[in-house]
A and B are shown apart, each in its own frame.
Chain A
């Protein structure tokens, strides 16, 4: 096996980090050209390249780990640190938006009428759809924990069911939020209220989509018996990310939907 005297994984060169970076460039510039010139070519190209990169890169990781056995304990530990650090960086990303919200809402400017919600804004009723949208991530936190315990105990069928349920709940949340966005009486252009609301909840929604995709990508290896009861880091990472997304929603709900209404 190894002509190495250590247990780490020295990866072989691969083009996917480069294609990923190029897709990020194309998507960001594509977004800008879409806003200004109404053309979607760049954005479409970037998204296609992103999907290709995701498919190829994650397939490569599965090959290296499940089929070639490169993910030894020290390698797994490094991956765990990586995921924790990444989630921490995302927490700080959201802290910025919460800062912006509280900055504007704790001492509302005179131009807003000196009150929050500002004059003219009818906020969404926190006890209608947003409350359902709180029950959904909480329930999916339960299902993902159920799935994790099933995997650890070696119970395949419950794991499959609970992971599928988690994905379905994630999709349900996205659908509900999309409907809320469509029906909302205010828009992104409605002053600082609209701005903080849609930027914070919008980025959160994007993260829900990312988390749901991550969980869906976990379903596939699971159906093909890739996970073992002890070694299933891909699933662990997805579950951590999912809990993070749910916790951010709780903060969003309490701050923006409830206190801010």
Chain B
């Protein structure tokens, strides 16, 4: 009710004077005056919003996928260059992490437990 009263007086004010009409009320008017993220997000926020809608995760915000680690189903490790450090926790709750460089090309195996890891190229939006 209060909104209607204010709207009425605002309408009167808007229609009386006005050399230049107020353009403000036309923006985001689809939802009642407040824009949505779709309409207004910019920069990195917008890039991520678009990518998430397409089902992509260029900035690695989601948990990595689970793989068996076998020769047929190696862990796929995304990388923006041609190598990446891998830390293998061979068994759950192990405190000694096995670190090694994973290079592009054939899958490598963890020197301790033998799980297979393969580097895959990762696209970054620029």
Contact = CB atoms under 8 A, between A and B. Distances in A.
Interface of A: 1-7, 66-74, 151, 153-159, 161, 225, 227-231
Interface of B: 2-3, 6-7, 10, 24, 27-28, 31-37, 39-48, 59-61, 80, 122, 124-126
A260 B113 CA distance: 68
The interface centre, meaning the residue of B10, B48, B125 with most chain A CB atoms within 10 A of its CB, is B48
Given A5-B60, A7-B48, A230-B36, A70 B31 contact: no
B45 A227 contact: no
Given A1-B125, A6-B59, A7-B59, A70 B44 contact: yes
B45 A72 contact: yes
Contact of A69 (B24, B31, B45): B45
A4 B27 CA distance: 33
B87 to A, nearest CB: 17
A153 B35 CA distance: 10
Interface of A is mostly: loop
Contact of B44 (A2, A151, A161, A227): A2
Contacts of A2: 44, 47, 59, 124-126
Contact of A74 (B42, B46, B61): B61
A1 B47 contact: yes
A161 B4 CA distance: 12
B80 A154 contact: no
Given A154-B32, A158-B3, A161-B2, 18 more contacts: A1-B44, A1-B125, A2-B59, A3-B126, A5-B60, A5-B122, A69-B44, A71-B45, A74-B61, A151-B34, A155-B33, A156-B28, A156-B32, A157-B10, A225-B24, A225-B27, A228-B39, A229-B36
Nearest to A224: B24
Contacts of B31: 153-154, 229
A185 B117 CA distance: 78
Given A1-B126, A6-B60, A154 B34 contact: yes
8 contacts: A1-B43, A3-B126, A5-B59, A6-B60, A70-B44, A71-B45, A154-B31, A229-B37
A73 B61 CA distance: 9
Select the residue from A7, A66, A74, A158 with max chain B CB neighbours within 10 A.
A7
Contacts of B2: 158, 161
Q: Which 4 A-B pairs have the closest CB atoms?
A: A69-B43, A156-B33, A154-B31, A69-B45
A155 B46 contact: no
